[in-house]
Amino acid sequence: LAAKAGAVGALIRSVGTGAYRLAHTGAMAYEDATPKIPFAAVSAEDADLLHRLLAGGKQAVNVRMKMGCEKLPDQPSSNVVGEIPGTELPSEIVLLAAHLDSWDLGTGAIDDGAGCAIMLEAARLIRAAGGARRTIRVVLFMNEEQGTSGGRAYTERHRAEMDKHVAAIEADEGGARPLGFSLVGDEPALGMLRAITAPLETIRAQAVTQAHFAGADITGLQVSGVPSIGLSNDMTNYFDWHHTAADTVDKLDREELALSVAAVTVVAQGLADAKHTLPRTPAASRELPSWAR
Ligand SMILES: [Zn+2]
């Protein structure tokens, strides 16, 4: 839009909280027909400073953009998939999702190393307890951050198997204290999931809320009607750190991660052992919100 209006460059206020004057990176795209002008994020504090200077109206405000980033050609990469075959219904799948890639500013500890750790540990616990009636499939997706090509490749490759996916659960909210789960769907799916999460009241993670989106990696499953569930974490500090140089492992808390593992384990095993699967998501509820398309 800025290029169309004749701009030579554009700045966006960081999509994050104004903490520590850190700029947050993130995805952007150019339209084919529009000039590819430089585009950068500034920290919230610096955006405020620019606004104050501009509001004063007394002086010219100049910004010099010096950027070292470049877009390199795509390279082959892979999702990482592992599963615990179901003991009675091995063709039916409960999918546990997180993503392996991160932005290069930080190490990706909260986005989404925490989610990968939660899903791997939940699967390990289920296996240690003798497995489940249905298959538990852990998929650590590649390329969530720059177009979800890992998620799209999975949906494409497993299209014939979509009906066999009885649920998909994604952990991608940073791994702080678990608050419960979001579910794309209506009653009676919400009620069935609430029955499964009831024991999580002891760690105050039993809440089930209705949502239009459960996780970027599993949107292909969502629109295919697979009941899609997101682990909800306390995101109070998440946007201080996500997509910045501060996304490092010191932000993770062992106890909080363990609570998330407990929450996912209860739900994954509950769904994999349940007599009846959740109903498929009604067509009207499958549609993604516009920002996630
Ligand atoms: Zn993420």
pLDDT in tens, 223-262: 999 999 999 999 999 999 999 999 999 999 999 999 999 9
C-beta atoms surrounding 203 within 10 Å: 15
Q: What is the mean pLDDT of residues 158-170?
A: 97
Residues with CB under 5 Å of ion ligand 1 are: 111-112, 172
How far is the centre of ligand 1, averaged over its atoms, from the C-alpha of 132 (Å)? 28
- 259: CA distance to ligand 1 center in Å? 19
| Distance from residue 62's CA to the centre of ligand 1 (Å) | 34
Q: 9-44 burial by CB neighbour count: b if 16+ within 10 A, else e?
A: eebebbebbbbeebbbbeeeeeeeeeeeeebbbbbb
Q: Cα(162) to centroid of ligand 1, in Å?
A: 23
256-279 pLDDT, tens digit each: 999 999 999 999 999 999 999 999
Q: Does residue 89 carry a pLDDT above 90?
A: yes
DSSP the chain: -TTTTT-S-EEEE-SS---TTPPP-------TTS----EEEE-HHHHHHHHHHHHH-SS-----------PPPP-----EEEEE--SSEEEEEEEEEEE----TTS--IIIIIHHHHHHHHHHHHHHHTT--SEEEEEEEES-TTTT-HHHHHHHHHTGGGGGGEEEEEE--S-SSSEEEEEEES-TTHHHHHHHHHGGGGGGT--EEEE-S-S-GGGHHHHHTT--EEEEEE--TTHHHHTTSTT--GGG--HHHHHHHHHHHHHHHHHHHH-SSPPPPPPHHHHSPPGGG-
Q: What is the pLDDT of residue 69?
A: 83
Please give the single-letter amino acid code of residue 179: L
Per-residue pLDDT at 162: 97
User: Ligand 1 centroid to 161 CA: how many Å?
Assistant: 25
Q: Which one is predicted more confidently, 252 or 16?
A: 252
The mean pLDDT value for 158-182 works out to 98
pLDDT digits (tens, 9 = 90+) for 98-123: 999 999 888 999 999 999 999 999 99
Q: Ligand 1 centroid to 55 CA: how many Å?
A: 36
Catalytic residue among 92, 144, 145, 170: 144
Tell me: pLDDT of 131 over 80. yes
Average pLDDT over every residue of 174-198: 97
- Give the model's confidence band at 68: pLDDT under 50 very low, under 70 low, under 90 confident, else very high: confident
Residue 201 is among the residues annotated as catalytic for this protein: no
Confidence category of residue 174, pLDDT binned at 50, 70, 90: very high
Question: Rounded to 5 degrees, what angle do the CA atoms 10, 14, 16 make?
Answer: 165
Strand bridging mode 10-13 / 39-42? parallel
pLDDT of residue 253: 97
CA 20 to ligand 1 center in whole angstroms: 21
By CB atoms closer than 10 A (0-12, 13-18, 19+), residue 293 is exposed
Ligand 1 mean position, distance from CA 103 (Å): 9
Distance CA 247, CA 240 (A): 9
